[in-house]
Amino acid sequence: MLSYTSLVTIALDATPLTVSTGGVARYTLELARALARRSPAEEYWLLSDQRFPLPKDTPSNLHTGDPPRNRAEKKWWLWGLHQEMMRHRIDLFHGTDYSVPYLPARPSVMTVHDLSPWLDRAWQPHAKRIRSRTPLLLRAGIATMVITPSEAIRRAAIDRFKLAPDRVTAIPLAASEHFRPVETAPPATPYFLFVGTLEPRKNLARLIEAWREVRRKHRVDLIVAGRARADFPRPTPESGLCFPGAVEEAQLPALYSGALAVIYPSLYEGFGLPVLEAMQCGAVVVTSKDPAILEVTGGAAVHVEAADTRALAGAMTAIAAAPENFDEIRSLALRRANAFSWQRTAELTREVYDAAVRAFRK
């Protein structure tokens, strides 16, 4: 039986790393690095049917596999991935984004980040395969164990897919260590900040409308940073509204630290990683009352109803008028953020791997 003391070889799905930015890509890379660092005697592989970049500062026991070698292996989830795992003698596979191999030849773990593909098709218009495939993999038990990023999503997944509760574990994400308060020169114009993928679920039309209300009384800009999905309708350019695109990760701590507040009025989340990144930088966060986000903030943020533009504008106006009144929120945010780390995420994930091995051998 695999255990912490066993020499094992574990593979993670690296498909999310083929996209330059996004929470799932961040989760996959940070988790893989943390797992490899905590267990130097174990070998970890990142496998995908597409090529992807890997940062240079990765542990020596974290490797990358090869893309399909022939036409048969291009049927990746059915056959190609199985062959690649045979070549590397993989003991367990972790599907970091709703998928595991169709052939249950070894224990597997699937991460279900949220239920957005099933709640509103407009949120995930290109998730047809996930909508049809993932429920079958879960209900048939092909995914031995399931990980969710929050208890809110754990409960929702158990209910929707009729899963045994002992198969599903909530393991929180974390912000990278370099997210911390940064001393910055005061900006020429104070600004509110949103960071994340620009897509319908993020509720950005209401955010922009609320900011316009604030700007009638206070000179404050709005920076909306992130990769724009094809279905994001870019607003007409106007003074004070800035869309810089995807911002390099190394630049985000200063951007978070210099903001009047970070605004994240998402309609639905599985975790809300930008919220935690901002908190770890000591930013005031104004966000929605989404159950998963409430779980993450633990009372260390300002919460409003996602559909209430007036309430959002009211919170932003209060911060613009007297930012010093929110210093306590900044302190609470820093203390709350200390409860999360990728090391802890890796420890809890590794426990689920052991549980998957035990369940697979029953």
DSSP classification of residue 266: -
| Residues 43 and 108 placed together within one structural domain of the fold | yes
* Residue 183 is assigned to a structural domain of this protein: no
Q: Per-residue pLDDT averaged across 119-142, rounded?
A: 95
At 1, is the pLDDT very low, low, confident or very high (cuts 50, 70, 90)? very low
List pLDDT tens digits, range 20-71: 678 899 999 999 999 999 999 999 999 999 999 888 889 999 999 998 999 9
| Residues 210 and 247 placed together within one structural domain of the fold | yes
User: Structural domain of residue 318, as residue ranges?
Assistant: 191-337
Residue 70 CB neighbour total at 10 angstroms: 9
Are the C-beta atoms of 8 and 2 separated by less than 8 Å? yes
| Residues 319 and 346 placed together within one structural domain of the fold | no
* Residue 3 is assigned to a structural domain of this protein: no
| Residues 325 and 355 placed together within one structural domain of the fold | no
* Residue 4 is assigned to a structural domain of this protein: no
* Residue 181 is assigned to a structural domain of this protein: no
List pLDDT tens digits, range 231-261: 998 888 999 999 999 999 999 999 999 999 9
CB-based contacts of 204: which residues, under 8 Å, 6+ apart?
194, 198, 224, 232
| Residues 17 and 164 placed together within one structural domain of the fold | yes
| Residues 148 and 229 placed together within one structural domain of the fold | no
| Residues 61 and 134 placed together within one structural domain of the fold | yes
| Residues 206 and 300 placed together within one structural domain of the fold | yes
| Residues 81 and 101 placed together within one structural domain of the fold | yes
* Residue 330 is assigned to a structural domain of this protein: yes
Q: At 160, give phi and psi (nearest 5°).
A: -70, -40
* Residue 25 is assigned to a structural domain of this protein: yes
Statement: the pTM of the whole predicted model exceeds 0.75: yes
Question: What's the structural domain count of the chain?
Answer: 2
Domain with residue 215: its CATH number is 3.40.50.2000
| Residues 216 and 352 placed together within one structural domain of the fold | no
| Residues 149 and 198 placed together within one structural domain of the fold | no
List pLDDT tens digits, range 181-206: 999 999 999 999 999 999 999 999 99
Q: Which residue in 144, 154, 143, 142 sits closest to 115, CA to CA?
A: 154
CB-based contacts of 312: which residues, under 8 Å, 6+ apart?
206, 207, 210, 263, 265, 286, 304
* Residue 17 is assigned to a structural domain of this protein: yes
* Residue 223 is assigned to a structural domain of this protein: yes
At 2, is the pLDDT very low, low, confident or very high (cuts 50, 70, 90)? very low
| Residues 329 and 346 placed together within one structural domain of the fold | no
